[in-house]
């Protein structure tokens, strides 16, 4: 399979998002699968900071080839949207890593610094097949990582401010989380309890992100007949902090 070409705009595919969640949830700040290990799996730029680095390690016995692309990360209509950008560039964008070798990719901010709002990006790192490699029957599977990048706004003390709504849509239970704050929200473990006290474990690891000033919607992994109507008690880990809240009943 050839490397995917950049397109003006794309919704994040569920498989891509799942890989990102797995990578960010791994302990020790490194993600490993197949022969490629990446560290760190989340990057925070201070407002004046101009560069950061991502380390790629080839754990295999053959050369590894990859491409690195950067996208503006936004959320629209409850979904993640990626748009190609030059505000942050990867250097080098194409890598060849020797067996048991490593490569550092620099992320360089080229846009204006010190903006009021937090900026968010995704770095896509693809392991790609060599053009002159042996013919493969069927699908040539590649590994993809999606690394979140956050650039702090003018107020580094800005916080997330979340509201939660649970509704039914097309026979399934959905959760929409809106972030009215100045900082992204990383939602980890998530448990809902209904009026009868019955608990529903939604996530035991990393659930997802809600960007500053945006909303994100998810289908809840519960039975369609689950009793989630009315007021719910919500227990969650948000940016590493324990949070309790109630949903807004529509």
Model confidence pLDDT, tens digit, residues 181-236: 999 999 999 999 999 999 999 999 999 999 999 999 999 999 999 999 999 999 99
Quick check: 26 pLDDT over 60? no
The CATH number of the structural domain formed by 162-246 is 2.60.40
For CATH 2.60.40.10, list the domain ranges present in the chain.
Answer: 10-151
Nearest Cα to Cα of residue 145 among 38, 10, 238: 38
Cα distance between residue 173 and residue 169, in whole Å: 6
Q: Could you tell me the pLDDT band of residue 250, with boundaries at 50, 70 and 90?
A: confident
β-pairing verdict for 144-151 and 43-45: parallel
The reported pTM is 0.83
Q: What is the greatest pairwise CA distance in the chain?
A: 62
pLDDT, position 120: 97
* Number of Cα atoms under 13 Å in the Cβ half of residue 165: 13
pLDDT of residue 131: 64
Give 25's pLDDT tier (boundaries 50, 70, 90): very low
Taking the C-alpha atoms of residue 162 and residue 239, their distance in angstroms, rounded to an integer, is 12
Q: How confident is the model at residue 132 (pLDDT cuts 50, 70, 90)?
A: low
Residue of 104, 101, 103 lying closest to 59 (CA atoms): 101
In 3D, which of 219, 223, 228 has the Cα closest to residue 249?
228
10-151 fold: Immunoglobulin-like (2.60.40)
Q: Is the per-residue pLDDT at 88 higher than 80?
A: yes
Burial class of residue 21 (count of CB atoms within 10 Å of its CB; 0-12, 13-18, 19+): middle
DSSP H or E segment with residue 120: strand 119-128
pLDDT at 18: 39
């Amino acid at each position: 399979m050839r490397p995917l070409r950049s397109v003006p705009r794309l919704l994040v595919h569920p498989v891509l998002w799942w890989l990102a969640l797995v990578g960010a949830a791994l302990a020790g700040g490194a993600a490993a699968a197949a022969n490629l290990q990446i560290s760190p799996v989340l990057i925070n730029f201070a407002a004046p900071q101009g560069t950061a680095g991502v380390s790629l390690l080839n754990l295999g016995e053959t050369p590894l080839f990859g491409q690195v692309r950067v996208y503006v990360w936004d959320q629209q209509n409850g979904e993640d949207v990626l748009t190609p950008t030059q505000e942050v560039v990867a250097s080098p964008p194409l890598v060849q890593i020797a067996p048991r070798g490593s490569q550092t990719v620099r992320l360089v901010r080229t846009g204006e610094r010190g903006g009021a709002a937090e900026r968010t990006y995704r770095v896509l790192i693809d392991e790609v097949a060599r053009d002159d490699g042996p013919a493969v029957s069927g699908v040539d599977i590649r590994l993809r990582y999606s690394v979140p990048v956050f650039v702090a706004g003018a107020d580094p003390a800005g916080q997330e401010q979340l509201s939660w709504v649970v509704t039914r849509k097309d026979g399934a239970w959905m959760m929409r989380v809106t972030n009215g704050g100045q900082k992204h929200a990383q939602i980890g473990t998530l448990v809902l309890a209904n009026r009868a006290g019955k608990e529903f474990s939604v996530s035991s690891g990393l659930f997802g992100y809600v960007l500053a000033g945006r909303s994100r919607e998810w289908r809840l992994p519960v039975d369609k007949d689950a009793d989630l109507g009315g007021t719910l008690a919500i227990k969650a880990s948000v940016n590493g902090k324990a949070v309790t809240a109630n949903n807004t009943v529509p």
